[in-house]
Structure 1
Amino acid sequence: MGVSRAGRPSALPAQAEATARPAPTVHPTGPTDSPHQSRQDQRSAKARGNGDLKRGLRRAERALLTRPAPKSPRAQMKFLCTRAKGSTQAVAEQLGVSRSTVERYLSGTSRRPRKRLQAALGEETESQWQPQFMAQARQRAATTRGLVISCRAYFGFGPEGTSDTGRMRDISAAVSPAHADRILAAQQGGTTDDDLRKLVADALADAYFRVGGGGRAGLHVEFKDVEWLEIRL
């Protein structure tokens, strides 16, 4: 409201009145968020972290590639069909889609896959790209070079080996070829995340926590809640 020369309030123009109003408060997380939703988000974040073991191994393999893998959905589909000796049914089963879906991408009728298919195309293409080169890299890691594993995760300990309490740690350790062989064989065999995590926990225990023997020789190490992980072949 304005004030006239006579001291009486006068109405502001509609535009000025709208400008004078304070801006509404914006809630970044949304006013309808509930504690139940927050717990769901936390569980989802934890699940994504724990799944980083397989993704970390795939990233390590991709870092060694000498040629970039196909990127477009059609090129990826063509590559997978070549690897499957022309069987569109085999590719459909790998990707979890119908045979007609594969054929639409091969012909160019479909070009923009949904997120699930896009992720499956990328993973299958990268896992089958330069197969001989990747087999040689895995063989070197399993026989002579081992792995380097860096991560931030929760590490807890059994009562028999140490008085240390469990906590989040940043760790980088060179894992022996024997452990690398078991980890890579499990990955190639399609093991579960839980079994793969146990193998990585045992490898890190030997390389980092059990070094020097003594009371730590029989130490049991718990490995979980992975925040980030990097593996180098």
Structure 2
Amino acid sequence: MGAIADGLDQLVYTQSLPSSTAAGLRALLRLEKGSTRRVASLLGVSQRTVQRWVTSRDGGRSRPSTAHARRIDSVVRARWQPRVRARRRAQAEERGIVFHTRARFGFTAQAASSDDPRQRLITQRLSGAVARELFAAHDAGAGEPQQTLILARGLGHAYFRDGGGRAQGLHIGFTDIEFVDFALV
């Protein structure tokens, strides 16, 4: 995942996701009320395999393969705080989001213009429409370049064009992202 996708995930979760595969397995077991059979069906493995992964006997524990670890992570992400995610996403799409970043941002202008692309630290409120477009692209599996383009249009409209009141027709440059952070309005 890219920085923007990670930032969107952090926006909708109130508790951080389990950081390790073992913690993810424990979380799945907790979500499924301790049933290794249901966890196994979610992961597409046998019940005995899940039991081997979670056993606490010395030397008895085996580790999931890399492919299984990715599958565990994706299942945990899909099932982690579903009502909280839905509520926070609806709030972001209705009220908008605050976007905080350090990146190369500006528009193509004549040399020595104050708005020439350069490293900027920006904190900007973006509309709910931009949030909806970002979430739709994220859900569709859009890559980082497409999400960056959505943010560039939204930032250009809010930052340079002052909500559409001036500077129409500017070509916005938004590259070299150092970090991304989102917050609810």
User: In the alignment, is the contact (CA less than 8 A) between 2:160 and 2:167 conserved in 1?
Assistant: yes
1:188 to partner: Cα distance: 2.1
1:169 to partner: Cα distance: 0.7
- 2:38 alignment partner, SS class: coil
Who is 1:54 aligned against?
A: 5
1:201 to partner: Cα distance: 1.3
1:132 to partner: Cα distance: 2.0
**Would you say how many aligned residue pairs link Structure 1 and Structure 2?**
171
1:106 to partner: Cα distance: 5.2
Report the AA paired with residue 104 of structure 1: R
1:111-122 to structure 2, matched below 5 A, reads 121-122=72-73
- 1:203 alignment partner, SS class: helix
Report the AA paired with residue 167 of structure 2: R
User: In the alignment, is the contact (CA less than 8 A) between 1:73 and 1:113 conserved in 2?
Assistant: no
Who is 1:134 aligned against?
A: 85
* CA-based RMSD: 3.4
Q: 1:69 to 1:229 in 2, by over 3 A?
A: closer
Matched residues in 1 for 2:158 and 2:165: separation? Answer: 14
Report the AA paired with residue 230 of structure 1: D
Report the AA paired with residue 88 of structure 1: A
1:86 aligns with 2:38: yes
- Relative to the length of structure 1, the TM-score reads 0.59
Who is 1:153 aligned against?
A: 103
1:104 aligns with 2:55: no
1:197 aligns with 2:145: no
Matched residues in 2 for 1:219 and 1:225: separation? Answer: 19
Report the AA paired with residue 216 of structure 1: A
Matched residues in 2 for 1:204 and 1:116: separation? Answer: 38
Aligned match for 1:180, one of 118, 131, 150: 131
Matched residues in 1 for 2:143 and 2:109: separation? Answer: 27
Q: 1:201 to 1:124 in 2, by over 3 A?
A: farther
Matched residues in 2 for 1:168 and 1:140: separation? Answer: 30
- Relative to the length of structure 2, the TM-score reads 0.72
Matched residues in 1 for 2:71 and 2:127: separation? Answer: 31
Matched residues in 2 for 1:123 and 1:232: separation? Answer: 23
Unpaired runs of 5+ residues, structure 1, are 1-47, 93-98
Residue identity over aligned pairs, in percent, reads 30
Matched residues in 2 for 1:139 and 1:53: separation? Answer: 18
Q: 1:212 to 1:230 in 2, by over 3 A?
A: closer
- 1:211 alignment partner, SS class: coil
Question: Which gives a bigger RCO, structure 1 or 2 (Cα 8 Å, sep 6+)?
Answer: 2
Who is 1:41 aligned against?
A: none
Who is 1:36 aligned against?
A: none
Q: Please list the CA deviations of residues 117-153 of structure 1 after superposition, one character each: whole Å capped at 9, or x if unmatched.
A: 657645642442221221121112112x101100001
